[in-house]
Amino acid sequence: MSVIFVTGTDTGVGKTLISKVLIDHFVATGLQVSAMKPVASGARKTPSGLRNEDAEILLNSINTPFSYAQINPYVFEAPIAPHIAAEENNRMVEISVLDKAFDALVSASDKVIVEGAGGWQVPLNQEVRFADWVGEKQWPLIMVVGIRLGCINHALLTYLDILQKKNPLLGWVANVIDSEASHVDKNIEYLERHIERPCLGKIPFYTQPDVADIIGNLKLSCLG
């Protein structure tokens, strides 16, 4: 299990937070850990080029000497679907480029945490979605469920498609992202009954997430 892919039920559900938690956990065990954000939409201009905040968080968490461009091969300024952002820049996300970048990371790492963009079915280009790319590789997954109104539908649709792709689902994380969400416990209890994979933990709503506290409350021992 040299790679773990972190997917989510939607955009803004906490994939980067969980990816950082995993990186910090594995670094603390003495492993060489890299990360990858294959495609990122929504970036600011810097003297070094476009930079996406999520990809920078991953870069600043790993303990391997990879550059920003190596962990985030495709970055676009507009916060829109990656395939549309690429087209508006007269580019196309090429799977061969992603594969080459990943191969370089995994060859020099004990673990690579790969974070998706948006949800499980987000397109990489007009022909291939994240679900296709990751499904073909059969990477183990962790699914982040953003607990808010509508989360049961989003979670079960994502879960069922992951099963169809036959990727090993290591578990899922319930992340409360709406401070005003009602019946949080009942929503999570329903998902625990209907997702036949372990819930690795329940993250309460945080104004500012405490990564160390989250690591202490997640069941990460099953990940090695």
Q: Is 37 a catalytic residue?
A: yes
Low-confidence residues in the chain, pLDDT < 50: none
Question: DSSP 3-state assignment of 224?
Answer: coil
| Residue 153: predicted pLDDT | 98
Residue 15 C-beta-side C-alpha neighbours within 13 Å = 27
Alpha-carbon distance of 107 to 111, in angstroms, equals 10
Q: Taking Cα atoms as reference points, which of 72, 65, 66 lies closest to residue 49?
A: 72
Q: Which of 37, 100, 111, 186 is catalytic?
A: 37
Contact 144, 19 (CB under 8 A): no
R_g of the chain computed on alpha carbons: 17
What is the residue whose two structure tokens read 């972190």? 6
Q: Domains of the chain, with CATH numbers?
A: 3-223 (3.40.50.300)
Q: Taking Cα atoms as reference points, which of 57, 5, 27, 35 lies closest to residue 104?
A: 35
pLDDT in tens, 68-84: 999 999 999 999 999 99
| Residue 1: predicted pLDDT | 67
